[in-house]
Amino acid sequence: MTVKPATPHGNFDYLPRGLVIVSNLLYFASPIALAFLLVANQQCMMSWCMVPEDVIQQFQANEPPTDFPVFVNTDIESSSALWGALGSVMHDAQDIHDNLLRTLLVPHHGYEITTAGDSFQLAFHNIADAVAYCLEVQQKLLQQEWPQAFVDCHMPGSATITTHQSLLKRPKMVFHGVRVRMGIHASNPAEGDLVNQVHPVTGRMMYVGLSELIGREVSDIGCGGQIIVTAPIVRWLRINLAQRTEWAKAHPCLFYDMGSISTCSCGFIHPLNLSIGVHRIQDLKIDLGIAQVVPLSLHERVGMFPPRSSTVRFDSPRCPESSYYSLLISPHQPQYPSYPQSAFFRSPCDQGDISLMA
């Protein structure tokens, strides 16, 4: 008697063909559905699963901005001299600095592009988060427990400075711990293409283009404890402070514009009129309109920053035939009266120079 061997699929011969087709479709479609749930809809899934808000913020902070990010670059003042003199003490101080900057990235949805020594290159999804981050960093740096040897060394960039308010009040700290210079620049289409690419070693998103170069230049303009911003940030601040938006109420600050002072604190105007003006970037042939932003609680700092020798006043004549773009506007164009002397513009008579004015 011959026994016919059983085929591995013999048990499925009696199943309806339609059921087999449906099961196959579900089998092959399940990885696609899983990928959608894990990647395309992660925030909704985490909210639905009642994941804590701080975990969701941590996830969002790891997402790199794609379309026209806002760049923030930071650097510790006199870090080389401090490292040479203090050694391990400076190592501990920089650890405190690094931990603070990374911790505050989470609530402000910032993205760490890279670090070089004590310098951070960061990217944010919008101006509101970038400015709020810088304001909070400057305030929280004063509250850190810095090594006593670092505080006592009294070197440039480490000395604690206080102001006396009255006999009944304790002296107010204006500088304490490391002094971090910060620069903010919002990229925009007028500055050309911004290429996004993943670093082959670190796996972090990198940005290549004029906007990224300007962002790095801005951070080198200021002093330790100073926040320098470019024209797009100034325009955004001007609108929010004038309209007293919720952001302005939550982040009291001053910005010192081109010859004027704006504040989001009712009735407070600082007596000093310290505009920064225009900074010439020689390598890029750019006149960069800049201003400084300071937390309202630290407004005393403004009078302590030395003048910048690289800052110039922009008063050279412009030819009226300036090219018009949505973000590149000549101040001589009468059809745009809202911001006299306030725009981005490129003029044919500039011989290739670009002026980015606030």
pLDDT digits (tens, 9 = 90+) for 196-230: 888 888 889 999 999 999 999 998 998 999 999 99
Is residue 55 domain-resident?
no
Residue 228 and residue 150 share a domain: yes
Residue 274 and residue 184 share a domain: yes
Residue 245 and residue 213 share a domain: yes
The encoded tokens of residue 163 equal 């102001």
Mean pLDDT over residues 272-298, rounded? 79
Is residue 271 domain-resident?
yes
Mean pLDDT over residues 53-75, rounded? 78
Residue 332 and residue 300 share a domain: no
Around Cβ 8, how many Cβ atoms within 10 Å? 7
CA 8 from chain centre, in angstroms, equals 61
Sign of CA dihedral 98, 99, 101, 102: positive
SS3 call for 210? helix
344 confidence band (pLDDT: 50, 70, 90): very low
The answer to whether the predicted template modeling score (pTM) of the entire model surpasses 0.75 is no
Domain that holds residue 322: 315-358
> What is the domain-level CATH number for residue 305?
3.30.70.1230
pLDDT at residue 247 greater than cutoff 80: yes
- Would you tell me the crossing angle of helices 79-86 and 88-105 to the nearest 10 degrees? 140
The reported pLDDT for the residue numbered 69 is 96
Bridge partners of 206, per DSSP, are: 197
pLDDT at residue 273 greater than cutoff 50: no
pLDDT in tens, 111-141: 999 999 999 999 999 999 999 999 999 999 9
Is residue 8 domain-resident?
no
What would the DSSP string read from start to end of 224-261?
Answer: TT-EEEEHHHHHHHHHHHHHT-HHHHHS-EEEE-SS-E
147 confidence band (pLDDT: 50, 70, 90): very high
Our count of domains for the chain comes to 2
Mean pLDDT over residues 301-322, rounded? 56
Whether 292 contacts 222, CB under 8 Å: yes
Residue 334 and residue 303 share a domain: no
Say how far apart CA 151 and CA 158 lie, in whole Å: 6
Residue 320 and residue 254 share a domain: no
pLDDT in tens, 13-44: 666 777 778 777 887 777 776 665 555 455 56
Say how far apart CA 308 and CA 292 lie, in whole Å: 12
